[in-house]
Amino acid sequence: MDTRHQIIVALDCDDRATAEGIVDRLGGECRFYKVGLELLTVAGPDLVKGLVAQGKEVFLDLKLFEIPHSVAGAVRAAGALGVSMVTVHGMGGPRIMTAAVDAARAFPGLRVLALTVVTSMTDEDLTDIGIADSAEEQVLRLARLAGKAGCHGLIASPREVAALRSALGADPLIVTPGVTLPGGSPAEHVRPGTPRAAIAAGASHVVVGRAVTRAPDPAAAFRLVRTSLVP
pLDDT tens, residue by residue, 187-222: 666 776 889 999 999 999 999 999 899 999 999 999
> What pLDDT is stored for residue 136 in this prediction?
92
β-pair type (57-64, 111-115): unpaired
The CA-CA-CA angle for residues 100, 156, 163, to 5°, reads: 115
> What pLDDT is stored for residue 57 in this prediction?
97
> What pLDDT is stored for residue 200 in this prediction?
94
Q: Give the burial class of 46: count Cβ atoms within 10 A of its Cβ; 0-12 exposed, 13-18 middle, 19 or more buried.
A: exposed
Q: What pTM value is reported for the model?
A: 0.93
All domains of the chain, ordered by start, with CATH?
Answer: 3-228 (3.20.20.70)
Q: How far apart are CA 165 and CA 168, in angstroms?
A: 5
For the beta carbon of residue 117, count every other beta carbon within 10 angstroms.
28
Map 88-139 to HEC letters.
EEHHHCHHHHHHHHHHHCCCCCCEEEEECCCCCCCHHHHHHCCCCCCHHHHH
> What pLDDT is stored for residue 87 in this prediction?
98
Nearest to 85 by CA among 191, 4, 174, 159: 174
Q: Please, what's the b/e burial string for 211-227 (b: 16 or more CB within 10 A of its CB; e: otherwise)?
A: bbbebeebeebbeebbe
Q: Give the burial class of 4: count Cβ atoms within 10 A of its Cβ; 0-12 exposed, 13-18 middle, 19 or more buried.
A: middle
Q: What is the largest CA-CA distance in the chain?
A: 46
> What pLDDT is stored for residue 218 in this prediction?
95
> What pLDDT is stored for residue 181 in this prediction?
76
pLDDT tens, residue by residue, 31-51: 999 999 999 999 999 999 999
pLDDT tens per residue across all 231 residues of the chain:
678 889 999 999 999 999 999 999 999 999 999 999 999 999 999 999 999 999 999 999 999 999 999 999 999 999 999 999 999 999 999 999 999 999 999 999 999 999 999 988 888 999 999 999 999 999 999 999 999 999 999 999 999 999 999 999 999 999 999 888 776 666 666 776 889 999 999 999 999 999 899 999 999 999 999 998 887
Distance from chain centroid for Cα 192:
14
Judge contact between 227 and 182, C-beta under 8 A: no
Q: Which sequence positions are flagged as catalytic?
A: 63
Q: How far apart are CA 221 and CA 4, in angstroms?
A: 13
For the beta carbon of residue 231, count every other beta carbon within 10 angstroms.
5
